[in-house]
Amino acid sequence: MTQVNPAVGLGLPSSTFMNPADVTDAVLGGNVLGVVNYTTEPTEPGIENGALTIDLHMAHTADEAFAEVWTTDRPVETGVVREVAYAHDGEYLIVVGRIPQAGRYTEATRAAYCTALELMDGLGYKNCFRMWNFVADINGDNADGLEVYRDFCRGRAEAFELFHFGDQEVPSATGIGALGGGISFYFLVSRSAAPTSVENSKQVSAYHYPQQYGPRPPKFARATYLAETHTDRSGGQIYVSGTASIRGHETLHEGDLVRQVELSLDNIAHLISRDNLAAHEIERRTGLSDLDNIKVYVRHREDIPVVQRMCSEYFSPAARTAYLNVDVCRSGLLVEIEGIVP
């Protein structure tokens, strides 16, 4: 599991899934932007062995743990500002933060996000192209009876508004359950590469969801196309958000695992299809077999073998794929899938 995905075309930061036992050697052997450990206990973000590191509580046992290691071919600078830690190489920035477990999350989410957004501005990184959010007890209620995920979404939306982060500028994102640790997040940001938000014509944009999904809608794009310049419409990479069994804005096939997996895969296939990308003036021909760095989130442990079998029919055997047993952003959803098209 220690192979490194070489940077493709743009000199983008590379990412690989790695055995935790091999991380120290990787950190000492190269320029590491960040280490995200999917493991059995959460930690605060910080600098470890000179590398930005955070532990997410996403694994039930040590055998399930893995690390996602982001590398670059440039020298890396690191630091910590209030709730967030960061690393950057002059072109790409990773910002990592954690919000402690609490009865309410709106204010703390807004504050932590504002710290991250202020840091991005201060360092001169304007183009956020991917976000991950890991939310403990995501379908539970906060102290006021509001679902924790909706509580988080309200704080995120307020932070975006304070920084004039318009709907057409929001990046692709994943909001997924965690096994503990409050809320952890990390962002990928570019100084000069050009992101384009991509929506799925078969789904309502998440930021236009009706109020039945909470006081503020989720603020993310279905995917982000990242290229060297705005005129490069064929050589970039596609960062696919966490994708589930949703059409329009409604959850479909509640209680039916097979049909939910099928619809999730179909949503991704359509999202990255030639016709849908062309509607965003992107000239790429891609499919599910082109996905890499795939994470598949499965609500029920006993469903994982079925999900693995179904996904293996569509994903390349060479694709890095991790399966995680955690809750999903809506209580009726059984699976969520994300990935990157290099």
Residue 86, marked binder: no
For residue 317, give both structure tokens: 């055997």
263/246 Cα distance (integer angstroms)? 8
CA distances from 237 to 16, 73, 200 (A): 16, 18, 17
Burial label for 111, CB within 10 Å (0-12, 13-18, 19+), is: middle
Alpha-carbon Rg for the chain, nearest whole angstrom, is 18
3-class SS of residue 118: helix
- Beta-carbon contacts of 290 under 8 Å, excluding residues fewer than 6 positions away, are 272, 316, 341, 342
Neighbouring C-beta atoms of residue 290, cutoff 10 Å: 17
Does residue 209 have a known ligand-binding role? yes
**Positive/negative CA dihedral, 306, 309, 65, 116:** negative
- Measured over the CA atoms of residue 213, residue 217, residue 219 and residue 222, the dihedral's sign is positive
State the Cα–Cα distance between residues 286 and 167, nearest whole angstrom: 25
Sorted by sequence, the CB contacts under 8 Å of residue 256 that are 6+ apart come out as none
> Which of these, 85, 81, 26, lies nearest to 55 by C-alpha position?
85
Question: Which of 48, 83, 336, 338 is labelled catalytic?
Answer: 336
Write out the H or E segment, with its range, that includes residue 93: strand 92-99
Q: Is 336 a catalytic residue?
A: yes
Max intra-chain CA distance, the chain: 50
| Interhelix angle 257-271/304-312, nearest 10 degrees | 40
Q: Which whole-number Å values give the CA distances from 180 to 4, 135, 137, in the listed order?
A: 29, 8, 7
Q: Are 195 and 99 in contact (CB under 8 A)?
A: no
Query: Annotated active-site positions, please?
Result: 336
Summarize the annotated binding site for substrate as residue ranges. Answer: 149, 156, 209, 222
Q: Give the residue numbers of the binding site.
A: 149, 156, 209, 222
